[in-house]
Amino acid sequence: MTLEKITNHKDQALARQREMYKRAARFTAYVSAHGQQAQDIEDALWASIAGRTLEGATGATLDALGARYGLTRNGLSDDIYRSMLRGTIAALNSQGRQEDIVSAARGLFGCDAVFMRTPNSIATSPSPSATIAIGVGSPTLPSWAYPLAISILLKSLSAGVSIDSLVTFDASSAFSTDAPRPWNIGLGDVDDASVGGGLADGIYVNRVA
């Protein structure tokens, strides 16, 4: 038996309403909400199945998984290819939420610590554009693979949202100050590396004229 992912739970639920209820706005909203909940569960289950299969896969099995998700190996080692697939799966299942983007970043860069600044973050200046800044702490992914990882990460964003900058930082020295204002954070010192935390290394900047 072959399992197939259902991608339209909400549409199916709405289509199955009796004609007499289709004009009832509140009931339609109720059905729509429950259909979306079913879709969220389906998406999460498929992501979990793919993840469990992925972690133990090697060689041709990884290639088959890559073909399923539209990502060719192109000479990558099993470990790097697995990271790219992990991020691709997360990006394909992303709804553009902060936790979805963080999940994709963790899978791609092989890190636990991920920092994200959004237009709604504390002490962020109002911006007419929907941009976010991301920091990945002590990534295990080699730097030569960053361009591919970034191109995949961009697919996890909602339409109209872009990454303003992406940096790496030493997760072991990251800190923030215990100050009354939550935006008083820890900084490194360009002249004295022993002062403060390590400075971040920029690996991607969205240069928009």
**Higher per-residue pLDDT: 56 or 166:** 166
Give tens-digit pLDDT for 64-102.
889 988 999 999 999 999 999 999 999 988 988 889 999
Task: Write the pLDDT tens digit of every residue in 109-118.
Answer: 998 888 888 7
Alpha-carbon torsion 160, 200, 170, 77, what sign? positive
- The reported pLDDT for the residue numbered 182 is 47
Q: What is the per-residue pLDDT for 189?
A: 45
Mean pLDDT score, 8-13: 84
Q: Residue 118 has what pLDDT?
A: 78
Percent of the chain with pLDDT strictly greater than 70? 74
Burial class (CB in 10 A: 0-12, 13-18, 19+), 17: middle
- pLDDT for position 151: 94
Place 209 in a pLDDT band, splitting at 50, 70 and 90.
very low
Phi and psi at residue 17, to the nearest 5°: -65, 145
CB atoms within 10 A of CB 10: 17
Q: What is the distance of C-alpha 159 from the center of its chain? A: 14
Q: Write out pLDDT tens, residues 35-46.
A: 888 888 888 777
pLDDT confidence bin for 51, thresholds 50/70/90: low
Average pLDDT rounded to a whole number, residues 15-32: 80
Give dist(CA 62, CA 188) in Å, integer.
41
